[in-house]
Amino acid sequence: MQLDTFEVQYSPPYVGWLLAFKHKHMMNNFSQDLLVWYNENKRNLPWRDTQDPYKIWLSEIILQQTRVEQGRAYYEKFLRTFSNVHEMAEATEKEILNLWQGLGYYSRARNLHKASRQVVNDYRGEFPDSFQELKKLKGVGPYTAAAIASFAFGERVPVVDGNVYRFLGRYLELDEPVNTPKAYKLFFEAARELMERVDPAQFNQAVMECGALICKPKNVQCMLCPVQESCGAFNAGRVDQYPVKPVKTKVQNRYLYYFIVEEESSVLLKLRNEKGIWQHLYEFPCIETTKPLSLVGLTDKAIDQDFIQSRKSVLTEIGEERLHKLSHRNLHARFFQVTQAQPDRDSVFVPYDDLKEYPLSRLMDRFIEEEKPHYYAQK
């Protein structure tokens, strides 16, 4: 996008800011100073030593909503299992979800699998080499497409993620709430102006790295920042006011009641087919509600759903209620051992020794691990 196009899209003060910004930072060598810092201080991460789009794509999908320390182990595990996109495309979704177990946000894993098949079927096994074409892959949004396009193919397109919003938001004192389309366009164009005379891959890595290590959400390391002297928020004493946060979405409470049904050395699992965060994962049969239920109310609901025949079925609670927090929901989970249940056709008894072969949510996995002294290890 040319500067005159940008001026048409945005009214003052952004037009005046951008013109001043371009001149100011050509003088102050913003990008050069940042790259010097990056090359001296960057972390040694395995996905930075490659231009292989498969490896870059894999790392970027894993690192969405995941800490680098945790993501590295999963990245290496996936590469050991699927060394290229063809091998991943040939796998089953169950195999992908099994490897993903513990990372959360399982739609990422399902999209990873679908995108691998897109690459093989629609692109003859070769990743698209442009930002616009990469966005056609399942689960690849503007940020991930920009990362792959710049890191693997050298396309001059900036990444815009939380680190970029924070770093440039503070540096430029941008007051636009970061959840708006206008903010994305503004930060995108600002970053593209900055990378004009430097290597786009190095620039993107440097901005993200400085945001992660120096310009952090809390405990900001301003005195170590390579561009501190010209940072607007630092000089104004307003670092803690940027980036401007979006209005928080109201968190909903959901109540999950899991039923543990055992048969000899096996336990009943059910595939979760409903769309949502745990689609295609296995779990104990479950009743989900928007309001908490008493034991009597839970029994009535289980009878209504033909899971148990009568009140002769005994529900014995195991452990205490567990709170599982997601970005938009608080899940209150309780687990009950039940007698005389009527499993439906979507349920299957799985030997305890084989549970690791079934993809489970982190909530389920933790329950089994922590409560097995009570029943799991005895089976």
Known catalytic residues?
60
Taking 3-state DSSP, the helix, strand and coil percentages for the chain, each rounded to the nearest 5, stand at 50, 15, 35
> With contact defined as beta carbons under 8 Å apart, do 60 and 145 qualify?
no
DSSP 209: H
Residues listed for the chain: 379
The pair of structure tokens assigned to 102 is 């513990």
252, 369 in Cβ contact below 8 A?
no
| DSSP secondary structure of 65-93 | TS-HHHHHHHHHHHHHH-SSHHHHHHS-H
Select from 330, 329, 302, 333 the least CA-distant residue to 315: 302
Which residues neighbour 365 within 8 Å (Cβ) at sequence distance 6 or greater?
101, 102
Q: What would the two tokens of residue 263 be?
A: 């048969």
What CA dihedral angle connects 204, 208, 211 and 212, to 10 degrees? Answer: -160
The answer to whether the beta carbons of residues 370 and 376 sit under 8 Å apart is no
Query: Which DSSP symbol is given to 76?
Result: H
- List helix spans (H) across 82-161: 85-90, 93-100, 107-122, 131-134, 142-153
β-bridge partners, 288: 256
C-alpha pair distances (Å), 336 with each of 221, 241, 285, 330, 344: 48, 47, 10, 20, 18
Question: Which residues in 272-372 belong to E strands, given as ranges?
Answer: 282-283, 286-289, 315-325, 329-338, 347-351
Kindly state the tokens that stand for 72.
């590295």
